[in-house]
Structure 1
């Protein structure tokens, strides 16, 4: 059964999860009010309550920390890798849309279809 405060919560993005993991490293697992405030101040997303933050962190621990390894820095490292890959995909997507003018038009010696192939890699 879902908790009442989870019913209206927006999905978490990787950036918010990364900020959450870093805030927990900074404040510990006893200061959820400060953690929620930091996340809310550092993102333009919806408000994250202390309970939302605690629940999400518990989920992240299940996702990233093995039973034998209680090292939360592993979680931060994995979230950083995921975020960097998201940013790379976004840059590739925008690079093609910015550089490409009219379909088939040569731009800097490259044709649009050549740039599209690079984007898919």
Structure 2
């Protein structure tokens, strides 16, 4: 993102210089257009190893998700067999846990819109 910001700033300066040159007809300032190309090339052509950190966050999310699913499955197994065979995990969450979260959440907590 920093490269993009730097390139856009350089192009903004180029645009200001070009506009000034066209308005005042001082063509001697066209020499500075080459500096824009050099700056852009220097910014874009740098070789940098990308740091990919989404794998770490994905693995953390996956571990938390698996832990929560384990808790959910253990709750689901504690239900009597005659009612748990007709109750899927998704409907268990929607019918039982969602109202429980509403009960446990403080009444002063309001959604931010």
Per the normalisation by structure 2, the TM-score is: 0.30
Q: Flag the structure with higher helix content.
A: 2
- Which has the higher relative contact order, 1 or 2, with Cα contacts under 8 A spaced 6 or more apart? 1
Q: Which has the larger radius of gyration?
A: 2
